[in-house]
Copies of this chain bind each other. A is one copy, B any other.
């Protein structure tokens, strides 16, 4: 029994993040109805469909684009396919949620955006961390002037462990693979574009990463148009867990976030005072943000507003300025 106003959605790509979105669309977001799943692996598509009580299962995503009943698609396929699928989906008149990045080639991104604009559909990009309750609270404090004019930004973004070497070799490198989220966060929190970047990297964790031509540890300095100075710290391996913190310092105060934990007990014994490690890894740490970004995407379809991070083909009314 379906809701009158539910938006029929298809998912393209049933890998790890695709399955997260599938469960949310199937069970957690009443405004959506998950109606179709496609994956180049028929088995992956079927497993995801079974788990989420979806009947339409395809190997070729074009079947989803061809289905007039589908109003929106969620693109979770491999990065190099994003731009092309966006263009096709836009041409088919579907609203689009696409995992980041759209592409690593700017021209391809521009083509995809042009297709979206021409088609007059909505495109939201999966920068989910903007929807984390910590970072959206910091964004609010900065944009409402609670800390005055921002002066300094510091982002700590450390993964618990390096990915497998074969993933890492195709990842595009630490700056594209990890820092991309932090670059987006920096722009989101400060509300200004970056005018200069200085980066130093090192291999501190695994010499194979050096042999792959990458670094595993990095510090990036940003200068923003607005005059704010920022730093980002990345590491591929924080043995104590997934370390995701942000601090913004301004003329009237400072706001920073601590890591989230599954519980807040504190054990005191003869060796000291002990509390819980950070949530580990992103599926747990950013669970709420994945749900919130998808809710926001559905809301912008139903209310015909702009996606909070992305573009709209023919914007009619805006809920708020895009960041």
Contacts and interface: CB of A to CB of B under 8 A. Distances in A.
A166 interface: no
Interface centre among A27, A223, A229 (most CB of B within 10 A): A229
Interface string A1-19: 1100000000000000000
Contacts of A133: 262-263
A267 interface: yes
A274 B156 CA distance: 19
A319 interface: no
Contacts of A262: 133
A5 to B, nearest CB: 13
Given A204-B227, A254-B238, A217 B152 contact: yes
Contact of A265 (B149, B257, B275): B257
Given A138-B265, A253-B267, A265-B137, A273 B240 contact: yes
A178 interface: no
A309 interface: no
Given A134-B264, A270-B239, A277-B272, A200 B217 contact: no
Copies of this chain, whole number? 4
B253 A263 contact: no
A1 to B, nearest CB: 5
A141 interface: yes
B264 A1 contact: no
Given A272-B276, A277-B273, A254 B240 contact: yes
Contacts of A147: 267, 269
A79 interface: no
B231 A251 contact: no
B265 A233 contact: no
A249 interface: yes
Nearest to A203: B227
A269 B239 contact: yes
A151 B235 contact: yes
A142 to B, nearest CB: 11
B265 A255 contact: yes
Nearest to A257: B265
A103 to B, nearest CB: 30
B1 A30 contact: no
A219 B230 CA distance: 8
Contact of A53 (B2, B138, B146): B2
Interface string A191-216: 00000101011101100000000000
For the complex of A and B, the 5 pairs showing the least CB-CB separation, nearest first, are A253-B269, A27-B27, A240-B268, A133-B263, A258-B264
Given A137-B263, A151-B204, A240-B270, 15 more contacts: A134-B263, A146-B269, A152-B233, A154-B233, A201-B229, A219-B230, A238-B249, A239-B252, A239-B253, A243-B268, A253-B268, A268-B277, A271-B274, A272-B275, A273-B277
